[in-house]
Structure formats: C-alpha cells, structure tokens
Amino acid sequence: MSKNVFVCARVRPPLKDEDPNDTCVQINEADRTIAVRDRQGFATDKQYSFSAVFPQKASQRHIFESVGRTAVETAFEGHHSAIIAYGQTNSGKTYTLANKGSTDKEDGLLQRCVKELFETVNKNPGLYRVTMSYTQIYNEVLSDLLTGEAPTSKTVSLTIREDAEGNVFVPGLTTVDVCSAGDVTHYVDCGNKIRMVALTNMNAESSRSHVVVTLHLHRTNTASAAPEGRLLLVDLAGSERIKKSRVQGVRKQEAQCINASLACLGNVVHALAEGSPHVPYRDCKITRLLQDAFKRGRTNLVVTVGPSSSDFHETNSTLTFGMRAMKIKQLPMGRGSTDAPFEEGVDTSLCASTASAAEFSRLQSGNEEMAARLREEDDLIQHLGAALREADDEIRVLHREIAVSKAEAMDAAEAARNQLLLHQDVVKQLLRDRERDHTELEALKKHLQQLTAERDGLLEAIQLDQITKTTRSHTKTDGVSAAFVNKENAPPRPSPNQKKNSHPMASKAPLGPIVNLSLNSRNSPLQFIEL
C-alpha cells in the first residue's frame, strides 16, 4: 500500500463560452506537474506537483484506473477509503465523481467503482453484504437523502458519533442493502432528486451542499478477522468567490458556509501535513465524516480546475490546497485509534482497584454523564466556533472591500488632482497669451493711429497740390481772367477746423473737374479717378 493520501489534479476541457486559447494552466504529464501563469504570462510561473495529473483529454476510464480501482481495493482490505472531489464551482467535480453519461464511456468514478465492487462481490458469493447510505451537508446541517423527504430549513441536523472502536457513525441514518451497481445508482438518483441544487451566476446547476455516498462492505463470513471496509465518495460543494458569483441573501449565506467548511478541511489537511498533535476534525461536519479515512484509511483527493485565465486565482488556490495535502505524511493504517476520545475509554486501573462493584458502576455512570455533558459542550463550542469563523470571514471580506474602496478612492483623488493641475497650467498659459495679445493689440492701435494721421496729412497735401495744379491749368488753357485767381474769387481755403474735420471737396466753391480720391490701403498708391 502506497501513501494513504493520494492527490491528483484534473484540468477540464474549456466550456462552450470559454476561449480555448486563453488558458492559464500547462500540464506536464511526465513529471506530474501543472504550471499556472496569468494572462501576462509572467516568468515567475507557479508550479504544482502531484501524485498524478490529468490533462483535458484524460478519459473517465483513465481517472478510474488511477484513483478508483485502488480505492475499491482498499475497501476490500477492510479499510476506510475515500474519494474526495475538491475544486471551484464549475471545475468538473461532479463530472469526475458521479457523471452519468449517455454511454458508459462518460461514466464517473461512482458508477465505475460500484461496478468494480460488485464484480468482486459476485465472484465471491455469500462472502459480502453491501449496504449504503447517502447524506448531505447543507449549511452545516447533516441530513439523510434516502428518507424520500427533501430536507427543509427546519430539518434538524443528524449527529455524528464515534463507536467503541473510534469509528464515526450517524445514529438513525437510513442504510439500505444493495445487490448490484444498478441498485446503487437507483438510490443515488432518488437522493439527487432532493439534493439542494440552486441557480447561481457561476453554474446553472451549482451544488450548494457537500454530498457523501457511503458503501459499507460487511463480511458475512464471521470467521474472517477482516473488519468492515467502507468506500466514501464525496462530492464537495464548490468554493466560490462571493464577489464573482454575485450571490446575495440565502445564496450568500450558503456560499459563506461552504467556504467556511472548506477552510476547516484545509485546516485538517494542514494539521496532518504539519504532523500536528491536534487535528481539528470536529470543527465541521464534513471533516468529522472524513475523520476515519484521514486517520487510518486511504484518502484520494481529486482537485479539479478549469483551464481559463479568468479562473487564475481559483485555480491557484485549489492547486495550493492539493499541494498541501501532498505533504501529509504516511499515517498508520488500520483499526485502533491512538487518539480515541476519552469518553469511550474506561480506566481499567479502576477495575483493578479495591473499590466495590457498586462504587465502580457509580463512577462509571458519573463518567458517562460527564462525557455526555462534555459532548454537549463540545457541540456548543463547535457551533460557536463556526459562528465566530463566519463572522471572521465576513470581517475579512469587509476589510478587503474597504481596502479596495480606499485604494479606488485614492486613485480617483489622485487623478482629479492631476487633472486640476493640468487645467491650472492651461489657464495660466491662456492668461499669459491674453496679456501678450493685449499688448500687441495696443501697439497695433498706436501704429494705426500714426498711420491714420500720416494718411490724413498726405491726403490734405495731395488735395491742395491737386487744386493748385487744376487752377493753374485752367488759367493757362482757357485764358481765364486773372479775376479767377483773384483772392476773392478763389476757392476759400479751409479753416483750421475744416482742415481737420471736413473733406475739402465738400466745399461749395466751384472747382475744376471733380476728382474722387480713393485710398485702398495703407500702403497702396493713391488712385485718382476722373469722373
């Protein structure tokens, strides 16, 4: 028998809505490793190694040969044997563990294991009796899936106890005889009908509960010393990032419960890996049910991951969980727990003492009472512990949310400040431009005034010159009497005021041909047009 915790990882193929090229996992079957990289493909790839790795193309048969067959053998050897599917919602746990395909090719581990189990049972007629039970843990309430009645919010949790040999058992749980693989699948189908399945944003059939199918292999040949073997098939509810699945209300509470119980499982695995003297099996129901398989049986952990880069974080945390389980050292297999709870133990030194039988029985009943009280207190502590952990988780989520909001607010403030500084610079530049334009405008105005004055002066001079020339030419050509040039008849000279304000041509005095002076532009030559 090899290590009693066998860990393998399976990567499911991309789903219809996933891009097959956008993958974050790379499998190396030869050295049984999986490398995970994010979208940027950083050089600091994380590498995880396992007892076995199954790529997307791995068949259901392949998984059975690697995991299922040994699990069945372990049960026939009289040990507790468990196959646990662990992974993010939608990563392929149920498909791996209990898929019922349209053809045998698609069948999951459950179908294949029971087929194998009954082949061996049928080869040994009269040697084995097989019974089964089917349980669900929903919101830390353990319920029976073979009663035919769906659990409700009022369902009271079944309790988990340990027998004298330290084996866990559930008093009052329905156990049915099964004689074939068909019987098992029939009961599983009945249980599935009442299993809690709800819609979430993550997976249209997301399982909101952990479910455990337990097959008990009883030896009918009493002469055999081999004890009862068990095969547990555990389909865990998927871990879930509450923000990503956007669940609310009851669904959020379910998700918190699922995450808390998976954290407990992580603590158990951690304690076993560290060789810690105390393993917190009692912290939640699922670890308590799996206690025997971990303690002295054989556990097969199948961690399932999706290939998509969008599942990068979940894939990392699932594979980290698997790697931690890989560190669990070989534990002693077989019956006889060394750490059975003291209530089951009887102090034999008392028997050997001189106390009377009555005294012994009084002390024993007192011992039993105290054990019962301790169990009650233990349940209460577990309950309080679960509530505390839940509150703790919530606080951690809130802290993370606050930190994210703070960072976002700081980023927004920084961006606004930068924007403001940018605007201030622009405004300053605009003011500077305006001032410069203003100065230029003033200079231009002055220049224009100068030019206007010059133009007026020039116009006046030209007009006078023109008048003089015209007068002279009239005198010459027409022999006009000198009277015309007589000062009294001469056109009046403009007064100093007129010079400035009125056009000299506006004078009513008769002039020679009227001359229109046109000034097109400051620099253009004056044009004289005779009308």
Between CA 54 and CA 66 the distance in angstroms is: 10
For residue 512, report the phi and psi dihedrals to the nearest 5 degrees.
-70, -155
Interaction of residue 12 with ligand ADP, rule CB under 6 A: yes
Task: Provide the minimum distance between the beta carbon of 256 and Mg ion in the complex, in angstroms, as a whole number.
Answer: 18
When CB distances to ligand ADP are compared, the closest residue is: 92
SS3 189: helix
Q: What is the maximum span of the chain, computed from C-alpha positions, in angstroms? A: 178
Binders in 213-242 for ligand ADP, by CB under 6 A: 238
3-state secondary structure of 429: helix
Residue nearest to Mg ion (CB): 94
Beta carbons within 8 Å of 122's beta carbon, 6+ residues apart: none
Interior/surface letters 394-429, b for 16+ CB within 10 angstroms, e for the rest: eeeeeeeeeeeeeeeeeeeeeeeeeeeeeeeeeeee
Burial of 171 (0-12, 13-18, 19+ CB in 10 A): exposed
Task: Decide if residue 68 touches ligand ADP (CB under 6 A).
Answer: no
Segment 277 to 316, residues that bind ligand ADP, using CB under 6 A? 304
Footprint of ligand ADP on 425-454 (CB under 6 A): none
Count of residues engaged in binding Mg ion, rule: CB under 5 A: 3
User: Which span sits near ligand ADP by CB under 6 A: 85-93, 178-186, 445-453, 511-519?
Assistant: 85-93
CA dihedral 135, 233, 208, 321 (to 10 degrees): 130
DSSP character at residue 155: P
Six-digit token string for 343: 């209530």
Among 55, 68, 87, 494, binds ligand ADP (CB under 6 A): 87
* Among 94, 135, 256, 261, interactor with ligand ADP by CB under 6 A: 94
Return the range that interacts with ligand ADP (CB under 6 A); candidates 71-79, 199-207, 374-382, 424-432.
Answer: 199-207
Q: What contacts 322, CB < 8 A, 6 or more positions away?
A: 7, 9, 48, 50, 86, 301, 303
207 contributes a contact to Mg ion by CB under 5 A:
yes
Site string for ligand ADP, 362-401 (x = CB under 6 A): ----------------------------------------
Supply the minimum distance, in Å, between the C-beta of residue 111 and ligand ADP. 14
Q: Does 95 engage in binding with ligand ADP (CB under 6 A)?
A: yes
The correct pick among 135, 167, 203, 214 for binding ligand ADP (CB under 6 A) is 203
Q: Is 15 among the residues that bind ligand ADP (CB under 6 A)?
A: yes
CB of 137 to Mg ion, least distance (A): 14
Pick the piece of the chain touching ligand ADP (CB under 6 A) from 82-90, 275-283, 317-325, 341-349: 82-90
Residue 91 sits in the site that holds ligand ADP (CB under 6 A): yes
The Cα-based distances of 65 to 71, 112, 262, 319, 427 in angstroms read 10, 10, 27, 22, 76
Nearer to ligand ADP among residue 95 and residue 169 (C-beta): 95
Can residue 94 be called a binding residue for Mg ion (CB under 5 A)? yes
String of b and e for 61-84 (b: at least 16 CB within 10 Å)? eebbebbbebbbbbbbbbbbbbbb
Provide the binding-site residues for ligand ADP, judged by CB under 6 A.
Answer: 12-13, 15, 87, 89-95, 203, 206-207, 238, 304
